Amino acid sequence: MPQQPQVIYLKDYQVPEFLIEKTDLRFELQADATLVKARLQIRRNPQSLSKNSALVLQGDKDLVLCRVAVNDQVLAEQDYRRSEESLSINDVPDVFVLETVTEIYPDQNTALEGLYRSDGMYCTQCEAEGFRRITFYLDRPDVMSVFTTTIEADKAAYPVLLSNGNPVASGDADGDRHWVTWEDPFPKPAYLFALVAGDLAFIEDRYVTGSGREVTLQIFAAEKDLDKLDYAMISLKKSMRWDEEVYGREYDLDIYMIVAVDFFNMGAMENKGLNIFNTSCVLAHPETTTDAGFQRVEGVVAHEYFHNWSGNRVTCRDWFQLSLKEGFTVFRDAEFSADMNSRTVKRVEDVSLLRTAQFAEDAGPMAHPIRPASFIEISNFYTMTIYEKGAEVVRMIHTLLGAENFRKGSDLYFERHDGQAVTTDDFVQAMEDASGIDLSQFRLWYSQAGTPVIDVSDEYDASQQIYTLILKQRCPATPGQSEKAPFHIPVSVGLLGKSGQDMMLSNGETTQVLELKEAEQRFSFTEIEEKPIPSLLRSFSAPVKLHYGYQRDDLVFLMSHDSDGFNRWEAAQKLGVDILQELIGEYQAGNELVLDNRLTAAYRAVLTDLSLDQAMVSKVLTLPTEAYLSELSDIIDVDAIHAVREFVIKTLAEALSSELIAVYDRCNVSEKYAPDATSIARRALKNLALSYLMKTGKPEQLERALTQFQDADNMTDSMAALALVVHSPYAKAAEVILEQFYLRWKNEPLVVNQWLSVQASNPSKGALNTVKQLMQHESFNMRNPNKVRSLISGFSSLNPVNFHAMDGSGYRFLADQIIELNNLNPQIASRLVTPLTRWKRYPADRQGMMREELQRIMDSGELSRDVFEVVSKSLA
């Protein structure tokens, strides 16, 4: 029986008993161990109520403590106490210097938290609680200190030595070694500390801030990746300009560095002045990177840059406040991407992700508010809810306040809290104080979990010309919260007349934000001359599920007339959902499937209308995904969902093949690759047309895909063709080009990741065997999170039909991998559990098998806190 890990509660928060004013670190990187010498200037926190408590520092059990001294007095073993996770010293003065020497083993660090080696280079990941794996410290975000860091290492193997802030001294040392000292003048919590040592190449540029300060920009990577750094540099400079223009925020150090590493648990990390990035979020080149990859680089570079203010200058008081920096920063990077590319496309992509992954999380055993009340392992709370729903909550504040008041609020927030560690409530308070708008009920979004549901009905009084919308809200129970109070929800609406025009509303505009605060509320519109068709929740103004009894003809009408681009797409989605759900019922009843020809007609109209926003056409013509259809189901029938969606795609493809061929040819222009919105839209539409055409099963369409594969001069077109052939019944052709593709790209890990993922997500029979074989392939490495994500998550999350195979083989396979990874890398192991946490959503036979695998993980021996938390909550 494994020991029960401890639960940490927000209500137990207390200010730190000690503060660290100055942190001096010296790292001696040796062949198999690293010596960490820390000199901390500590003082009792005058705000702490306990006046003579012992000093308790966090420190991982694997730290080897070599020396402890207080004010230059070396402590004997009876003067301090070492426990599994801490170091305590009694009777310390109110002000003193603590020195420690510890030994750590970065080569054995497979958890990739703290200091570790990735492909021969040293790097760190300290958020959230990784610093305690480096040395003994007050490892909590409300302890902010100025840092000086000296790194000493072999000069030939590690010519580049980096840390936060500015380099202030350097020199040679005995034995072909050298050292560099860095000084970061901005007080920061330990989670923002970073160190890098390696044989790295870099590109350099300059940026002049609005106030005329010059900043050196450097991006580091392995020599062979030097040609893949330009796009990140361009994105960085755009982000810096945007944050000045939109938020009035300037960069504050003389140097900004980004380092690319191949072994990384997450996307990237905003360490002060020294961002560390997963290669997948920084490297970009047309030959190796898809359009989606380019956009990810732009978005993540911006995200980490924006953290310099929303996260670093103003940080979190404790980890329950994580969404303070993450929700706000995701909102900021989403608006940046919207300004750089197509705003509507960006919104569609974000909402799609939210409605599949986040809504599912909010309906499952790990559901939590964006400010959780408790956790066992904070790493488990870097979630869709904290990030994506958190961003939606900030977006709702923006909607309720308006752009101008929101900017006043953010100015006040940054000014009031610069240099502080604060709470989400401080953020809301600043928004309230600056705008004068009451957000007291709105604060429930921070404490209540679950996705609210709004049922909408309407009445039209022709004689009075009054139209009324009746909105009823409810929110399903989530773990620990059976009853919910009504939320304050901004519902953006427009009303369309018969000819498709927007009606003028009482606010003198064509869109109005209704503020839903009661469980049930009526909103009336006067001088409405005909019964309108409502356009509800424009731009997805709140993270809710909204139901209104649209007729299919209404949806077709909205698809072509709604002035809100997002809702035109939404109408197409709703039409698709309605038709697919009905067909799923027919399929389950064993009836013949017949497609409603209104969908075909609507798709034909969109395909042939050149006046439409081309960036949106491929989005509108993409049927609701299997993941979204699953999320909408009470009981998920994976096979029916897959079969019916395939049927609809094939039927549409056959009926529209001449139009699709025309679109393909029109978009198949040869031009120099550029990752701009217009060219991205053209490639997306071309590849969408190809995906339909492939489903006709006509040999000439296979030829078309193979020609595109052979002729492509960019990864977007090449990968799209590869995926379509691999996921088709043409197994022989697939085998040939998979082999060809691998031989061409085997030295590009990020391309190989996609090659793995395409095979793992193949819905054809036999995918699990392929995955098992690929785990033995030279390109696979269980210690590399990108490889695990591509192959194992590629199977468990992107291949529902095979993962949910009725013989239970998919579940068994996943559980085996989780058990193995639990020791190697708990964070990655814990993420892999997600598909199994959803067991209650499946039919009884599958439920039983999924539960059994969760139980098998539970009983498999000593579990990490990470895996224990997710598995035990799923079984509860």
- Catalytic residue numbers read 304
Nearest to residue 277, comparing CAs of 123, 162, 128, 159?
A: 123
Binding to Zn ion (CB under 5 A): which residues in 299-328? 326
Nearest to residue 199, comparing CAs of 159, 227, 161?
A: 159
Residue 410 interacting entry, from ligand ARG, Zn ion, none, C-beta within 5 to 8 Å by type: none
Using CA atoms, how far apart are residues 803 and 311, in angstroms rounded to an integer? 38
Residue 432 interacting entry, from Zn ion, ligand ARG, none, C-beta within 5 to 8 Å by type: none
**The one-letter amino acid at 658:** S
Residue with Cβ nearer Zn ion (328 or 523): 328
Q: What's the closest the beta carbon of residue 9 comes to ligand ARG, in angstroms?
A: 20
Whether omega for the bond prior to residue 128 falls within 30 degrees of 0, making it cis, is: yes
Residue 268 contacts ligand ARG per CB under 6 A = yes
Q: What's the closest the beta carbon of residue 363 comes to ligand ARG, in angstroms?
A: 23
Binding mask 190-229 for ligand ARG (x = CB under 6 A): ----------------------------------------
Residue 382 interacting entry, from Zn ion, ligand ARG, none, C-beta within 5 to 8 Å by type: ligand ARG
Tell me which of 24, 127, 139, 298 binds ligand ARG, using CB under 6 A.
127
Please identify the residue of the shown chain whose CB is closest to the bound ligand ARG.
Answer: 382
Residue with Cβ nearer ligand ARG (382 or 741): 382
Using CA atoms, how far apart are residues 789 and 787, in angstroms rounded to an integer? 5
Q: What's the closest the beta carbon of residue 823 comes to ligand ARG, in angstroms?
A: 18
Q: Which one of the spans 97-105, 146-154, 265-273, 351-359 is the region binding ligand ARG (CB under 6 A)?
A: 265-273
Number of residues lying near ligand ARG (CB under 6 A): 11
Give the burial string for 288-318 (b: 16+ CB within 10 Å, else e).
bbbbebbbbbbbbbbbbbbbbbbbbbbbbbb
Binding to Zn ion (CB under 5 A): which residues in 681-720? none
DSSP 549-608: ---HHHHHHHHHH-SSHHHHHHHHHHHHHHHHHHHHHHHHTTPPP---HHHHHHHHHHHH
Q: What's the closest the beta carbon of residue 329 comes to Zn ion, in angstroms?
A: 5
Q: Please give the helix or strand (H or E) that residue 77 lies within, else none.
A: none
At a CB cut-off of 8 Å and minimum separation 6, what does 162 contact?
Answer: 151, 180, 182, 194, 195, 196, 197, 220, 257, 259, 274
Residue 304 contacts ligand ARG per CB under 6 A = yes
Residue 719 contacts ligand ARG per CB under 6 A = no
Residue with Cβ nearer ligand ARG (270 or 748): 270
Q: What's the closest the beta carbon of residue 382 comes to ligand ARG, in angstroms?
A: 4
Using CA atoms, how far apart are residues 244 and 565, in angstroms rounded to an integer? 28
At a CB cut-off of 8 Å and minimum separation 6, what does 853 contact?
Answer: 808, 811, 812, 814, 815, 836
Tell me which of 128, 533, 579, 722 binds ligand ARG, using CB under 6 A.
128
Binding mask 356-395 for ligand ARG (x = CB under 6 A): -----------------------x--x-------------
Nearest to residue 766, comparing CAs of 809, 733, 723, 797?
A: 809
Residue with Cβ nearer ligand ARG (181 or 295): 295
Residue 112 contacts ligand ARG per CB under 6 A = no
Token digits for 646?
Answer: 């395939």
Q: What's the closest the beta carbon of residue 140 comes to ligand ARG, in angstroms?
A: 15
Binding mask 326-365 for Zn ion (x = CB under 5 A): x--x------------------------------------
Residue 264 contacts ligand ARG per CB under 6 A = no
Residue with Cβ nearer ligand ARG (305 or 780): 305
Q: What's the closest the beta carbon of residue 202 comes to ligand ARG, in angstroms?
A: 21
Residue with Cβ nearer ligand ARG (130 or 364): 130
Look at the block and give the residue holding tokens 């491929």: 618
- 84 near 13, Cβ under 8 Å? no
Q: What's the closest the beta carbon of residue 268 comes to ligand ARG, in angstroms?
A: 6
Using CA atoms, how far apart are residues 666 and 22, in angstroms rounded to an integer? 63
Residue with Cβ nearer ligand ARG (113 or 432): 113
Q: What's the closest the beta carbon of residue 247 comes to ligand ARG, in angstroms?
A: 17
- SS3 assignment for 410-477: HHHHHHHHCCCEECHHHHHHHHHHHHCCCCCHHHHHHHCCCCCEEEEEEEEECCCCEEEEEEEEECCC
- 360 near 451, Cβ under 8 Å? no
Using CA atoms, how far apart are residues 179 and 28, in angstroms rounded to an integer? 9
Residue 829 contacts ligand ARG per CB under 6 A = no
Q: Which one of the spans 237-245, 268-276, 444-452, 746-754 is the region binding ligand ARG (CB under 6 A)?
A: 268-276
Look at the block and give the residue holding tokens 């310390």: 92
Q: Which residues pair with 38 in a beta bridge?
A: 25, 100
- 798 near 759, Cβ under 8 Å? no
- 465 near 527, Cβ under 8 Å? yes
Residue 269 contacts ligand ARG per CB under 6 A = yes
Residue with Cβ nearer Zn ion (334 or 752): 334
Q: Which one of the spans 27-35, 216-224, 262-270, 694-702 is the region binding ligand ARG (CB under 6 A)?
A: 262-270
- Residue numbers at the binding site for ligand ARG (CB under 6 A): 127-128, 266, 268-270, 303-304, 326, 379, 382
